[in-house]
Structure formats: C-alpha cells, structure tokens
C-alpha cells in the first residue's frame, strides 16, 4: 500500500473550487481516489449534477462512514463507495479523478495506464513532477491525459510557483509552506530523474 495520508478532509469551499477547475458537469463520472467520508462525491452530485461518482477509501472505518452518509442522504443510486485500494482497481471509467495524496515514484506511469485519454486529473498542492498542468487554481492543479511533459525544468518550476525560480528556491518555498507536508526525499529524487537528468 502506498501513502495512506491523514484523516484530513476538505471544506465545501475547497471542494467547489476543485470541481469548478475540472469543469464538472452532468456528462461527467467523477472518481475520488481516497475519498475519506465521501464529501467530494456528495458535492459533485448535489451541486454539479455529475452523472455518477465513485469514492475509493482503503480505510475501513472511513469507507463505512462514507457509505452511511451517502445512504442517509439518499444518494446511493449515484454515489458508490468502494472500500478498496484504487491502485488495485479499475478506474478507467472516470472522466474526472481527484488525487490528493503526495506523489510516489510510479504514479505518473500508473495513471497513464489506468486513466483514459481526455480524463482530467486534479491534484493538491503540486502537479506531478515534470507534468505541465492545463489549468491551476491553487492549491489545485488540473492535468489531462495524455499528460503533457514539460519542455524544460524552468518552465515546470514556474508553473508550480507562478514565478521564475531555481530548484533551491523551489525547495525553500516548499519547506517553508506550513500547509503542505511533502515527502521531500521522493520529491527530490523525482526532480532529479525527470528534470535534472533529462
């Protein structure tokens, strides 16, 4: 199992921000890859009219709580909660996916295999290392399959920080960001593999 992440859920205001960024609508199927208590799925259906949503949650207690909430709200015909590791599941139906966890080594390659072309993938705090986001509404980055890989390290850094900067300045900013707890070792390794040794 990769990083499970904390029991920290987003407010409706942030959820709306990320669904607006993805331009969610009634033609979409939304997957929350690590759904906690399922609130992203609830807002996607009730406020954005998304056709169907699936929330994956590998923590049994959280998945149970999400299922109960969805039933209580009478939304179980449009929201499915799966107590599964999404990496082990078929997610190819998604037209929008949300991934709020920190990036691990294999994630880009795995998403390229698992998600369909055209799928919009929203991440939190950072885009995948070396992938150019299509749109940004910080703290959310929207990337689309097939991923656009950056032409240069400086271009990627400037899409992350919204200014030109060096790698050292990038690390300093991320280190000093109290909101964002990142896996610095993995991040630096990915930067080295994808941006420095290009």
Ligand X SMILES: C[S@@+](CC[C@H](N)C(=O)[O-])C[C@H]1O[C@@H](n2cnc3c(N)ncnc32)[C@H](O)[C@@H]1O
List residues binding ligand X (CB under 6 A). 2, 4-10, 32, 34-36, 39-40, 56-59, 62, 85-87, 100-101
Q: Smallest distance from the beta carbon of 4 to ligand X, in angstroms?
A: 4
Q: Smallest distance from the beta carbon of 189 to ligand X, in angstroms?
A: 20
Q: Between residues 62 and 194, which has the closer beta carbon with respect to ligand X?
A: 62
The answer to whether the CB of 54 falls within 8 A of the CB of 75 is no
Residues paired with 55 in a beta bridge? 32, 81
Q: Between residues 85 and 173, which has the closer beta carbon with respect to ligand X?
A: 85
Q: Between residues 35 and 131, which has the closer beta carbon with respect to ligand X?
A: 35
Beta strand pairing call for 120-124 and 96-99: parallel
Residues 6+ apart with CB under 8 A from 51: 26, 27, 28, 29, 78
Phi, then psi, of 120 in degrees rounded to 5 = -95, 130
Q: Between residues 70 and 157, which has the closer beta carbon with respect to ligand X?
A: 70
Phi, then psi, of 181 in degrees rounded to 5 = -95, 105
Looking at beta carbons, which residue is closest to ligand X?
34
Instruction: Give the span between the Cα atoms of 102 and 106, in whole angstroms.
Output: 12
Q: Smallest distance from the beta carbon of 165 to ligand X, in angstroms?
A: 28
Q: Smallest distance from the beta carbon of 131 to ligand X, in angstroms?
A: 20
Q: Smallest distance from the beta carbon of 98 to ligand X, in angstroms?
A: 6
Q: Between residues 9 and 171, which has the closer beta carbon with respect to ligand X?
A: 9
The answer to whether the CB of 19 falls within 8 A of the CB of 43 is yes
């Amino acid at each position: 199992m990769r990083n499970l992440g904390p029991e920290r859920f987003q407010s409706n205001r942030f959820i709306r921000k990320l669904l607006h960024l993805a331009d969610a609508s009634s033609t979409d199927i939304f997957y929350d890859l690590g759904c906690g208590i399922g609130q992203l799925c609830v807002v996607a259906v009730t406020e954005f009219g998304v056709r169907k949503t699936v929330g994956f949650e590998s923590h049994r207690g959280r998945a149970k709580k999400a299922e109960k909430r969805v039933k209580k709200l009478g939304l179980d015909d449009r929201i499915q909660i799966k107590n599964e590791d999404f990496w082990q599941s078929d997610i190819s139906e998604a037209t929008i996916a949300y991934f709020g966890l920190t990036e691990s080594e294999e994630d880009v390659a795995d998403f390229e295999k698992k998600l369909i072309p055209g799928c919009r993938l929203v991440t939190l705090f950072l885009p995948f290392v070396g992938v150019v986001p299509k749109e940004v509404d910080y703290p959310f980055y929207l990337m689309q399959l097939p991923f656009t890989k950056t032409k240069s390290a400086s271009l990627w850094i400037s899409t992350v920080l919204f200014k030109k900067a060096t790698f050292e300045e990038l690390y300093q900013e991320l280190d000093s960001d109290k909101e964002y707890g990142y896996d610095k070792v993995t991040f630096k390794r990915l930067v080295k593999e994808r941006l420095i040794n290009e």
